[in-house]
Structure 1
């Protein structure tokens, strides 16, 4: 038997691993796969869709609150969308989710729909219905579907951990104690347990992925979106202050999309809760990377990014070897290139008369 990762990140015997094949063979083998991505035009959702379009032949159902082809074109850009179907899905409605699964004969699901931390804090009842109740509804629909699912990937978060000060210095073990500091993290932790139970009760291979602080194109909302906002201001030559100074695991949006793409398609057996690799930097170090990118892009004379004095207790330095072992094809863009490419993206949009 091959190893499978448990929710604690430890290794134990699970279902037999399927034979690993090359990327070309995977594309041919998975041509009949139909993947539903809830929250499919959000930051991670759209990055995952783009990765799947470029790296597979799967049919992709992009779950959205309202079907708007113009928005899809704006979010996904100049990419072949012939294998995409926009489907209206409200995860608060389990019957609607089940209808989509059965009608489209969905074989795999990436569940990303959810409210960000600020909205969860301000609208706790809605956050509970969407982030936790919605996850439960998706899972129950999967269990009731006419055709068995082959893989379920749940978007969790590093917010399931406690503040950095509650862990020892150095690398934080992935299976360290989980103690969320807010309702967003609490509901994500509960979603991980629901995902584990889905595997336990049905045998469906399931993964909970824990992203950290994302930056780059598409990162527009949420508590940790301010570094990306700073990059937009660099492109515009405008002043901006990132309100907090801290140490954080930063992750480039396309890399996170690739991680979800690998998690939904690559061979995996059992259940795993896995943290994503990131660049562990201070806010000042990230701003320095922005400064270097601005220099290369000829924007140095207008660079006006500063860092505030507020501190935040975000978790960082979490070990990510488990996901690297599970999905060895994963690549991480060097932080200097990722920051440069992000700012260059916004510069290009401005030159084309588009908003950032």
Structure 2
């Protein structure tokens, strides 16, 4: 069946790991893609339009994008956990004010499809029944803002809470360790895992399929959902790496990272149905192969 094209899709943070992957997927499907970053994406896919812009500057962003006929927004740009911890005010400006500006841009441009990434860090946990880091606080604020925006302005949105997304190019952030371990094994180098945990590991191909499917629907109201409930361990990751390279020198860690709280992706499955899951062993194999032979 022929896919009905959405129209120009704006991706903020399009030069990042997930942004690059989603850009490629949408372009392959025939979509028109515009990316915005503080600096225009370097080495971005030449089929897309790459612009420089600051999501904290609402007026400049609107002037930049209004002539382009944007029909969907995928808001990925954000500061991650370490940056939010080290520069909390900047983290709030980028992650919260930037999110509000993108919601306002959707209203100004009459965009009906608004997809954004939250995080399982937004979920409350002990000991205070609250997010355990500022990044999670800002993401929780973004989820609530999207819900209130629907009450005030009628914009339906989809917020996705990933845990660990891995794959070639995911080399920044605390949970990039999964990809970095695979990369080291593919290059015959030792790697010491910085933490041990039970987590949800999703290959980037699976996540971009989910995001693409989300862009093809318009929900009745604001939807926020975990991506998966499938929890595996960093020991499982190491075992999958050794299936690719039995000689891999990947050292486990004694430092435990908290496991995710109880997860629920029923809202997402109700919205888009089932998707093609990428089992951990297959995702590690794909990532290993691309680092072993990047051509």
TM-score norm. by structure 1 comes to 0.78
- Shift in Å, 1:314: 3.5
8 Å contact kept, 1:244–1:310: yes
C-alpha displacement of 1:212: 0.8
Q: Pick the aligned partner of 1:287 from 234, 238, 255.
A: 238
Q: Does 1:330 align with 2:275?
A: yes
Aligned-pair CA distance for 1:324: 1.8
Distance verdict in 2 for CA 1:242–1:98, change over 3 Å: same
Tell me if 1:266 matches 2:217.
yes
Q: Which residue of 2 aligns with 1:59?
A: 32
Q: Which residue of 2 aligns with 1:132?
A: 96
* CA 1:333–1:46: 2 relative to 1, 3 Å: same
CA distance in structure 2 between the partners assigned to 1:316 and 1:105 by the alignment:
40
The one of 133, 157, 170 equivalent to 1:182 is 133
Query: In the TM superposition, what are the counterparts of 1:3-18 in structure 2 within 5 Å?
Result: none
* Partner residue of 2:117 out of 150, 155, 166: 155
Shift of 1:198: 2.1
Distance (Å, rounded) in 2 between the aligned partners of 1:199 and 1:211 = 22
What do the CA deviations read for 1:282-338 (whole angstroms, capped 9, x no partner)? 1111110111122xxxxx33x100111001113155222321221125221121111
Greater CA radius of gyration, 1 or 2? 1
- Runs of 4 or more, structure 1, over 6 Å off, are none
Q: Is 2:16 the partner of 1:42?
A: yes
What SS is found at the alignment partner of 1:205? coil
Q: CA deviation at 1:30?
A: 2.2
2:74 to 82, 90, 110: 110
* Residues 166-181 of structure 1 aligned to structure 2 (within 5 Å): 179-181=130-132
311-320 or 128-137, larger mean C-alpha shift: 311-320
Q: Report if aligned partners of 1:154, 1:195 keep a CA contact under 8 Å in 2.
A: no
**1:238 and 2:189 correspond:** yes
3-state SS in 2 of match to 1:186: helix
Among 78, 85, 110, the alignment partner of 2:49 is 85
Aligned-residue offset at 1:152: 0.8
TM-score w.r.t. the length of structure 2 is: 0.93
Structure 1 pair 112/277, CA: closer, same or farther in 2 (3 Å)?
A: same
Partner of 2:162: 211
Matched, 1:72 2:44: yes
The alignment of Structure 1 onto Structure 2 pairs a total of residues equal to 295
The 2-side partners of 1:179 and 1:272 are apart by: 20
Give 5+ residue unaligned stretches, structure 1: 1-21, 74-80, 167-176, 295-299
Whole-angstrom CA distance in 2 between matches of 1:198 and 1:104: 24
**Greater length-normalized contact order (CA 8 Å, ≥ 6 residues apart):** 1
* Equivalent position SS for 2:78: coil
Kindly state the Cα deviation for residue 203 of structure 1 after the two structures are TM-superposed.
Answer: 1.8
Question: Match for residue 290 of structure 2?
Answer: 345
Using the alignment, how far apart are the partners of 2:279 and 2:244 within structure 1?
13
Show CA shifts across 1:239-298 (max 9, x none).
11112111111111121122222112235332100110264111111110111122xxxx
Query: In structure 2, what is the Cα distance between the partners aligned to 1:178 and 1:257?
Result: 31
RMSD: 2.0
